[in-house]
Amino acid sequence: MKANSEVLQTSKGNLLQSVTQKLGPFLGLLILVVFVSVMNPSFLEPLNILNLLRQVSINALIAFGMTFVILTGGIDLSVGAILALSSALTAGMIVSGFDPMLAILIGCLLGAIFGAVNGLLITKGKMAPFIATLATMTLFRGLTLVYTEGNPITGLGDNILFQLFGRGYFLGIPVPAVTMIVTFIVLYVLLHKTPFGRQTYAIGGNEKAALISGIKVPRVKVLIYSLSGFLAALSGAILTSRLNSAQPTAGASYELDAIAAVVLGGTSLSGGKGRIFGTMIGVLIIGVLNNGLNLLGVSSFYQQVVKGIVIIIAVLLDRKKSA
């Protein structure tokens, strides 16, 4: 009897916890949306919503990769620098006559390779993820500056597919938003329906147990950092298309927005717990804040203050919930 009631109680507790865990960030987003639209009804106009989706797509792609990384208990500080380096290389290829879409593909694969470098430093080199990616962040940013000599790369031609990639619409939805949604679905399935996803959680939950269970921990980690690099490069391609140029300083501090989105989405920085759906919500919270505060005419200085406070409140609420 006692054992039964014990089990019952914990499963009830778990249910409540998992409901709040899943809905907590969502409720936060809802409150934010209601608040902003009451203050300024034009927020809810379709044009603004589509605009918002396009705005968040770059952070979303990076944050999706970051979710996998953080779920393993790691961190990737180099995503902004990978974005810049792969963008510069992609733009360079386009300028020297490559087919732009082929250049984007190669750029994304290069991003994956840069990510793999992180993964190898962390697994083979046994470096802490923070240190390894801090170093490669500086390294990749430096390489970008060397390659571009500090100047933007322009003159990317007028290939229509390339222009659509960052600026176009598909069935009325901005192409970057479509890319984001498709990527989300693919990654959602990868994380929640495949052995790879389960192994990602297992590594973050208990790396030793994962290893002893026969999981190729180093391989999974290298693949995850490659994924993170790939997605950073993909978002870089969107940015390059939108600006019609590659900026050597592009993506600076994007890693912080991505980490903020992951944390807002309820994923634990110590790994093993979290959901990619939460990250999507986290990305939207940051997006609505940016977009809404602009609509409300809040100065960009105060916007940062508000964003910081929102992150603190979100994490504090999360603590309280799990305590």
Partner 1 sequence: MHITMQGIYKAFGTNQVLTGVDFELKEGEVHALMGENGAGKSTMMNVLTGLHSLDQGKIFVDGKEMYFKNPKEAEQAGITFIHQELNIWPEMSVLDNMFIGKEPKKAFGLVDSAKMKSLAQEQFARLDVSLPLDKEAGSCSVGEQQMIEIAKALLTKAKVIIMDEPTAALTEREIQKLFEVIASLKKEGVSIVYISHRMEEIFAICDRITVMRDGKTVDTKAIPETNFEEVVRKMVGRELTDRFPKRDSKPGETVFEVKNLTGKAFRDVSFSVRSGEIVGVSGLMGAGRTEIMRGIFGLDPIASGEVLLNGKKVTIKNANQAVHLGIGFITEDRKDEGLVLDFSIKDNIALPSLYSFAPKGLIQEKAEKDFVDMLIKRLTVKTESAETRVGDLSGGNQQKVVIAKWIGIGPKELILDEPTRGVDVGAKREIYQLMNELTNRGVAIIMVSSELPEVLGMSDRILVVHEGKIAGELPQETATQENIMTLATGGQ
Q: Does 323 bind partner 1 (CB under 8 A)?
A: no
| Rounded distance between C-alpha atoms, residue 274 and residue 264, angstroms | 10
- Rounded to the nearest whole angstrom, what is the least distance from the CB of residue 112 to partner 1 in the complex? 19
Which run of H or of E encompasses 225? Answer: helix 217-243
What is the CA angle 155-160-163, rounded to 5?
60
Among positions 159, 206, 244, 303, the unique one binding partner 1 when judged by CB under 8 A: 206
Q: Does 11 bind partner 1 (CB under 8 A)?
A: yes
Smaller CB separation from partner 1, 210 or 227:
210
| Rounded distance between C-alpha atoms, residue 107 and residue 275, angstroms | 28
What binding mask, one character per residue, do residues 175-194 give for partner 1 by CB under 8 A, x or -? --------------x---xx
Q: 116, 135, 137: which is closest to 127 by C-alpha?
A: 135
Q: 182, 319, 151, 179: which is closest to 249 by C-alpha?
A: 151
Non-local CB neighbours of 301 within 8 Å, separated by 6+ positions: none
Q: What is the DSSP string of 164-187?
A: HHHH-EETTEEHHHHHHHHHHHHH
Cβ–Cβ under 8 Å, residues 217 and 207? yes
Number of residues that bind partner 1 (CB under 8 A): 33
Only one of the segments 9-17, 115-123, 179-187, 230-238 lies at the binding site for partner 1 (rule: CB under 8 A); that segment is 9-17
Only one of the segments 4-12, 78-86, 179-187, 223-231 lies at the binding site for partner 1 (rule: CB under 8 A); that segment is 4-12
- Rounded to the nearest whole angstrom, what is the least distance from the CB of residue 199 to partner 1 in the complex? 7
- Rounded to the nearest whole angstrom, what is the least distance from the CB of residue 280 to partner 1 in the complex? 21
Smaller CB separation from partner 1, 94 or 276:
276
- Rounded to the nearest whole angstrom, what is the least distance from the CB of residue 238 to partner 1 in the complex? 28
Cβ–Cβ under 8 Å, residues 127 and 188? no
Q: Does 128 bind partner 1 (CB under 8 A)?
A: no
Following CA atoms 39, 40, 46, 50 in sequence, which dihedral angle do they give, to the nearest 10 degrees?
-80
What binding mask, one character per residue, do residues 259-278 give for partner 1 by CB under 8 A, x or -? -------------xx-----
Which run of H or of E encompasses 79? Answer: helix 79-95
- Rounded to the nearest whole angstrom, what is the least distance from the CB of residue 258 to partner 1 in the complex? 24
- Rounded to the nearest whole angstrom, what is the least distance from the CB of residue 18 to partner 1 in the complex? 10
Q: Does 212 bind partner 1 (CB under 8 A)?
A: yes
Among positions 209, 256, 305, 316, the unique one binding partner 1 when judged by CB under 8 A: 209
Cβ–Cβ under 8 Å, residues 228 and 68? yes
Among positions 41, 150, 195, 308, the unique one binding partner 1 when judged by CB under 8 A: 195
Q: Report helix, strand or coil for 272.
A: coil
Provide the binding-site residues for partner 1, judged by CB under 8 A.
Answer: 2-11, 13-14, 189, 193-195, 198-199, 201-202, 205-206, 208-216, 272-273
